[in-house]
């Protein structure tokens, strides 16, 4: 299934995408696509619904973040060997883990606001993993059974805040609107191998990133098992698993986003995003 949330910001309703590409409303079956609604049992109930029995949603309706009430937005840094090389970094001996504030989350096609005074706002297409069942000290072999589904994430980053102003990366990752997720939460049964997904991103129509999740250093199952040693992963938590090469920071000369730039990104089978970047007043 391709599940989604639609409607005005802060008032999104659950829905699904039918086989013809129409959005169908699920409000009569669950309150939101969040928490326990992401369990295997809940997803099985939704899968049994005939989509044609659900109300149609106008195609002009805004698509919101594909998960509601996200408790943790966990990110993995330098997780692609080719991306680490382009930034001059070495692959870490264990995953680099940092948090992105949940207040950064926005819809996949919402405008992204460039912070006041920012000179180094950058893009990162990433595979997002949405937890559906609590994971604590899980084995790598069992890890994927804790996944509800997958989604596209743009891990928007302000590189000066991230690397030049001391401290941790979080402040360069957490500006308002720096976390577009969606459009769809694609349930794990539709993703045969999360390590074989083509990933692309363009700026103003020019391809910047053209990679694949197969070049991840630490793969999805390992990351879930690893993170679950340090914290319980709860239903609705989102893990952004790193980005392939082609970010602005890695270019020579470096290239960062400016007011009016259009960023488009996609992951095979998971849908696409489109964001206009606008200078914050």
pLDDT at position 91 is 80
Cα separation values, 279 from 117, 197, 204, 249, 261, Å: 9, 32, 16, 19, 10
Check whether domain 65-279 has CATH 3.90.850.10, yes or no: yes
* Residues 173-207 pLDDT 10s: 999 999 999 999 999 999 999 999 999 999 999 99
DSSP string over 6-36: ESSTT--EEEEE-TTS-EEE-TTT-S-SSGG
Neighbouring residues of 206: CB distance < 8 A, sequence distance ≥ 6? none
Q: What is the pTM of this model?
A: 0.96
Cβ contact 99:74 at 8 Å: yes
pLDDT < 50 stretches in the chain: none
pLDDT at position 120 is 97
The CA R_g of the chain, rounded to the nearest whole Å, is 18
Locate the domains of the chain by residue range.
65-279
pLDDT at position 81 is 79
């Amino acid at each position: 299934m391709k599940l989604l949330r639609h409607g005005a910001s802060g008032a999104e309703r659950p829905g699904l995408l039918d086989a013809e590409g129409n959005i169908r409303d699920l409000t009569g079956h669950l309150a939101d696509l969040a928490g326990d609604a992401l369990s295997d049992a809940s997803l099985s109930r939704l899968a049994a619904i005939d989509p044609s029995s659900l109300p149609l949603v106008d195609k002009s309706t805004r698509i919101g973040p594909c998960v509601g009430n996200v408790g943790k937005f966990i990110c993995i840094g330098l997780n692609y060997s080719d991306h680490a090389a382009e930034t001059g970094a070495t692959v870490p001996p264990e995953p680099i883990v940092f948090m992105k504030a949940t207040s950064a989350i926005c819809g996949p096609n919402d405008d992204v606001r460039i912070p006041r005074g920012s000179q180094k706002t950058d893009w990162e297409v990433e595979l997002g993993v949405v937890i559906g069942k609590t994971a604590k000290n899980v084995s790598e072999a069992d890890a994927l059974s804790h996944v509800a589904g997958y989604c596209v994430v743009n891990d928007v980053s302000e590189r000066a805040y991230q690397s030049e102003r001391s401290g941790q990366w979080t402040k360069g990752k957490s500006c308002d609107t720096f976390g577009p997720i969606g459009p769809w939460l694609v349930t794990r049964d539709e993703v045969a191998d999360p390590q074989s997904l083509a990933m692309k991103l363009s700026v103003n129509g020019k391809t910047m990133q053209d990679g694949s999740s197969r070049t991840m250093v630490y793969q999805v199952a390992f990351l879930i098992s690893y993170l679950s040693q340090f914290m319980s992963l709860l239903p609705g938590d989102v893990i952004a698993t790193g980005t392939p090469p082609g970010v602005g920071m890695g270019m020579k000369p470096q290239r960062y986003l400016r007011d009016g730039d259009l960023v488009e990104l996609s992951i095979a089978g998971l849908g696409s995003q489109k964001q206009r970047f606008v200078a914050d007043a």
